[in-house]
Chains A and B, each alone.
Chain A
C-alpha cells in the first residue's frame, strides 16, 4: 500500500526541510518588525521631540532606512522561496506525498507571503512619504 510514498523522502536532506518551514513566516515577521519600528519611531519622536507642526524629517529618513533593510531581506526570502517552488519539474498544486512537493509548497507559500509582506511594507513606507509632520 501507500508505504512507498512515505518512505521516499530521502530525495532531499531532512534537516533542510524541517527548518525550511520557518521560511514561511520570515517575510511577514520582517513586515511586523518594520511596522512596529516605524510606529514606535514616529510615536516616540512625535511625543518626545517634535511639536505638532514641526517636520518629521528625521523619522522619514529613519523609516526609509528601515524600509531598505526590510525590502532587501524580504526579497532575499522571496527569491529563496521561488527557487524552492521551481525546484525540478514540479508544477502546482504540489499535492504529492513526496518530500519534493512538500518543499515546493513551502517554497510557494514563502514566495507568496514575501510578495504580500513587500506590498504591506511599502504601504507603511508610503505613509511617511506622504505625511511629513506629526500633526
Chain B
C-alpha cells in the first residue's frame, strides 16, 4: 500500500492539504467565467431554472386560453391567436418543461445519489443544456411575432403540410428537433452514469430506485425520440423540397406521420411520468422512516411500464379507421399497462402503512399527486376502451384526463421534489407554512379547473376550438374551470414566492435535514463543489441509515479519491453489474467550446427555418469544426502515467478502451438511437407498401440492384479495412495502420457514390411520387453516415500521427470500429430494402 494512502493520513494538516487540492480541482469558475462551468451541480441548476421558466411561460399561455373560454362567444383572443396559444402551450409543456426537467433534476442529483463526483461527460451535459436554451427561446419567441406554429402539439399533416404555409410549422419542426438533440445527449449521459459511475459495492440490487427509473426512462428516450426526429425530417423535406411523404395524391400518406408521432408521443407520457414517480420513490421511505417495500416489484414496474408503453401508440389513432383487430390489440395493451403502474403505487402505500410517517409538505404533494394521478389513470383505462374513445375523442374529456395524469403524475411530485431537495441544493429550507397554503390552493384549484372538463367533454365540447356558442350550455362549466385555473395559478405564485424570497436572514438548514438514508444527503451545508469528500464503498440501499460511521468516514476522506494530486477532476468508473472499481476517470473541466458548439448547431436549425441555406451551411461547418476541436482537445487524452493509487491500496488504470470505457458505451448508446431513427424510415417504406397498392408504382424500375450491390460490397471491404486498422494499431504496425485507413477512406467514398448512383441513373424524381422520395431518403441517410465514417477514419489517422493515439491507448479507433459495425448494418439494410424488396414485391 502506498505510504501516502489517505486511509492512513499522517494528521489533520495532511488531510487539509488533500482536501484543499481536491477543492481546487473542482472549484467553480468565478465572474463571467462562471458560465463556462460544466460541473453537474451548475449545469443541473441552470437546467432546472430554465425548465421552470418555460413552465411558467406555458402556464401563462394556459391562463390566456382559460380567459378566452370563460364565457361563450368570447373575443379575448382571435382564432389564429388561440391556435398559436394552444399549440405553444402543449409543445412548451412537453418539450421545454416535462422532458427537460427530468434531465435537469437527474443531472443535478444523480451523481450525488451515486456518490460520484460528476457524470462521465460533463461537457455533453453542458452542450445539451445550451442547445435546449437556444432552441427553447427560439421556439417560444415566435409567438411574440405572431408566427408561432398553429398545428397543435402533434402537427398533423395535411394541415401542416398544405394549409399552413407560414414559418410556424418549420419553427416547430426544426426548433424542437434541435432540442431533441439535447434529450438524446442527456439520455446517453444518464445511461452511462447509472451503469458505470456507481460507487464501489453498489451492485444492481442496491442502487437507489431513482437510478432504476432513470435508467429505464433514458433507454425509452433513446427509442422514442428518434421516430419523431425521422418524422420531422420527412415533414421538413416535404415542406421545403416538396417530397410528397404525406401527400396522398402522390402516393404519400398523412397517417404515417401519426404513427411516427405517437410512437414517440405515447412513450413520452411515461418518459415524463416515471422520473417524477422516481422522486416519490426517494421521498416516501424518508418520511415513512423505513426502506421501500417491494424493491423488486418496483423494478418490475419501472421496466414493465417502459416496455408496455411502446405498445400503446395507436390508442391515439382509434378514430382513423384502422381495422378492429389493430385497434383491439392496442386497446388490450393500454389496459395491461395499468398493472405495473398500479403495482408501484401499492408499494408506496404499503411503505407508508408500515412506516412511522412524519408529516411534511413534501408528503402532502406526494399524496396529492398520487391521488390525482389515480383518477387520471382510471379515466385513461376508460378511454383505452375503443367504443368509449370514439365518443370522447377530441373532446374536453381527454383534456381533463391528460391533465390529471400529467399534473398528478408529474407536476405535484416535482413540487414535492423541490421541497425535498431545496435544502440539499441551496442550504436553506422552504417554508412549511407557505408550502401548505400552496398545496391546498393547487389541489383545490386543479380539481375545480379540470374535473368539470370531463363533464363539458361528455356534453360535447370539442378541443382546440377557440370559442363556443351560448346555446350549447357549456358556459357555467367553463367559467368554473377558469376560476379553478386561476386558483391553481395563485398556488403556483405562493410556491414561487417561497422559492425566490430572500433567505439571507434564515439560518442554514441542518445537513441531511430529513434524516434520509441515501447518498445524496451526504451533501454538506453549504455544499462543496467536489460532490463528496471521498467516494464511499456502499453495502446497503440506505447507507446513511445502515452503515455505521458512514458519514464521518466519507468526510474524513477514508474512502476512494480523497485527493487530487495532479490537480485534475477525477471520478471512479465501476463495472455494470457488481460495481467493482475498474478505472479512475478524468473528467473535463470548464470550457466555452460547448457554447460555440451549441450556437453553431442551433444556427443550422434556426437559419434553415427561414430557408437561408447558405448561412445554415456555414453554421453547420463551424459546428462541425468546433465539435472536432472539442473531441481533439478534450476526449481520451493519454495520461502521464498508466495507473493511479485511488486510496485504500487500490490501484486503477487511468486509460481504458473498449467495452469497459465510458466512451465506448456512449458511442454504443448513441448508435442505438441513430439506428432507431433509421428503422423508423424503413418502417415508413413498408408502411407505404402495406397501405397502398401502387407502391412501388408499376413501371418504376427502382434504383436497380447493380449499383446498390457495388455499394454494399465496397462498404463491407471498407469495414474490413477498419477492423484491420484497429488490429494493426494495436500491434503497432504504423505503416499497415495508415494503409488500412487509406483503403478504408477510398473504399468508403466509392461505396457512398455507388449508393447514390443507383437512384440517380434510374431517373428517380423525389417530387414525383413517394416511392422515389423514400428511396432517396434512405440512400442519402446512409451516404451521410458513410461520410461520417470517412471523417472518423481520417480523425484516427490524425490522432495517431499526432501521438494522441497509441497502440495501447486506442479508444479512438475502437470506438470508430463500433460505429462501423452500425454503419455496415445500416448499409446492408438500406440495400436489401431499396434494391432487394422491389424484386420480391413484383
User: A113 on the interface (CB 8 Å rule)?
Assistant: yes
**CB-based contact A113/B303 at 8 Å:** yes
Residues of A within 8 A of B299 (CB): 24, 105, 109, 112
CB-nearest residue of chain B relative to A25?
Answer: B303
Residues of A within 8 A of B782 (CB): none
User: B310 on the interface (CB 8 Å rule)?
Assistant: yes
**CB-based contact A124/B541 at 8 Å:** no
A47 to B690, CA, bound (A): 6
Annotate A110-135 by CB proximity to B: 1 below 8 A, 0 otherwise. 00110011011001101110110111
A6 to B539, CA, bound (A): 8
**CB-based contact A133/B324 at 8 Å:** yes
CB-nearest residue of chain A relative to B328?
Answer: A127
Annotate A1-22 by CB proximity to B: 1 below 8 A, 0 otherwise. 1110110010000000110010
Residues of B within 8 A of A18 (CB): 576-578
Residues of B within 8 A of A6 (CB): 200-201, 537, 539, 580
Q: Which of B295, B300, B323 contacts A93 (CB 8 A)?
A: B295
Chain B CB within 10 A, most for which of A29, A47, A59, A130: A47
**CB-based contact A5/B539 at 8 Å:** yes
User: B203 on the interface (CB 8 Å rule)?
Assistant: yes
Residues of A within 8 A of B203 (CB): 97, 99, 102
User: B642 on the interface (CB 8 Å rule)?
Assistant: no
Interface of chain A residues 79 through 111 with chain B (CB within 8 A): 92-95, 97, 99, 101-102, 104-106, 108-109
**CB-based contact B296/A93 at 8 Å:** yes
Residues of B within 8 A of A25 (CB): 303, 307
A28-B307, A32-B311, A106-B204 given as contacts; is B580 within 8 A of A130 (CB)?
no
**CB-based contact A101/B205 at 8 Å:** yes
Chain A CB within 10 A, most for which of B205, B303, B308, B537: B205
CB-nearest residue of chain A relative to B304?
Answer: A116
Residues of A within 8 A of B63 (CB): none
**CB-based contact B325/A56 at 8 Å:** yes
CB-nearest residue of chain B relative to A44?
Answer: B690
CB-nearest residue of chain A relative to B203?
Answer: A102
Q: Which of B332, B547, B690 contacts A127 (CB 8 A)?
A: B332
Residues of B within 8 A of A116 (CB): 300, 304, 308, 336, 339-340
- Least Cβ–Cβ distance between B324 and chain A, in angstroms: 5
Annotate B325-349 by CB proximity to A: 1 below 8 A, 0 otherwise. 1101111110110011000000000
Q: Which of A31, A47, A131 contacts B328 (CB 8 A)?
A: A131
**CB-based contact B323/A109 at 8 Å:** no
User: A74 on the interface (CB 8 Å rule)?
Assistant: no
Residues of B within 8 A of A17 (CB): 577-578
User: A42 on the interface (CB 8 Å rule)?
Assistant: yes
**CB-based contact B333/A124 at 8 Å:** yes
B contact patch SS: helix
Interface of chain A residues 41 through 55 with chain B (CB within 8 A): 42-44, 46-48, 52
A21-B577, A112-B297 given as contacts; is B547 within 8 A of A2 (CB)?
yes
**CB-based contact B578/A95 at 8 Å:** no
Interface of chain B residues 277 through 334 with chain A (CB within 8 A): 291, 294-297, 299-300, 303-304, 307-308, 310-311, 323-326, 328-333
- Least Cβ–Cβ distance between A92 and chain B, in angstroms: 7
**CB-based contact A35/B325 at 8 Å:** no
A113 to B296, CA, bound (A): 10
**CB-based contact A128/B325 at 8 Å:** yes
A92 to B294, CA, bound (A): 8
A94 to B300, CA, bound (A): 14
- Least Cβ–Cβ distance between A112 and chain B, in angstroms: 4
User: B162 on the interface (CB 8 Å rule)?
Assistant: no
**CB-based contact B578/A102 at 8 Å:** yes
- Least Cβ–Cβ distance between A59 and chain B, in angstroms: 7
**CB-based contact A119/B339 at 8 Å:** yes
Annotate B547-562 by CB proximity to A: 1 below 8 A, 0 otherwise. 1000001000010000
User: B206 on the interface (CB 8 Å rule)?
Assistant: yes
**CB-based contact A95/B206 at 8 Å:** yes
Residues of A within 8 A of B200 (CB): 6
A44 to B330, CA, bound (A): 16
A6-B200, A112-B297 given as contacts; is B329 within 8 A of A134 (CB)?
no
Residues of B within 8 A of A123 (CB): 332-333, 335-336
Annotate A54-88 by CB proximity to B: 1 below 8 A, 0 otherwise. 00100100000000000000000000000000000
Residues of B within 8 A of A56 (CB): 325
Residues of A within 8 A of B295 (CB): 93-95, 105
- Least Cβ–Cβ distance between B399 and chain A, in angstroms: 28
**CB-based contact A120/B201 at 8 Å:** no
CB-nearest residue of chain A relative to B332?
Answer: A123
Q: Mark A residues whose CB is within 8 Å of B.
A: 1-3, 5-6, 9, 17-18, 21, 24-25, 28-29, 31-32, 35, 38-39, 42-44, 46-48, 52, 56, 59, 92-95, 97, 99, 101-102, 104-106, 108-109, 112-113, 116-117, 119-120, 123-124, 126-128, 130-131, 133-135
**6 pairs, A vs B, C-beta closer than 8 Å:** A28-B308, A35-B333, A39-B326, A59-B325, A113-B304, A119-B336
| Additional A-B contacts beyond A97-B540, A120-B308, A124-B332 (14; CB < 8 A) | A2-B539, A18-B577, A18-B578, A24-B303, A28-B303, A44-B690, A46-B323, A95-B295, A102-B204, A102-B205, A105-B205, A116-B304, A120-B332, A126-B332
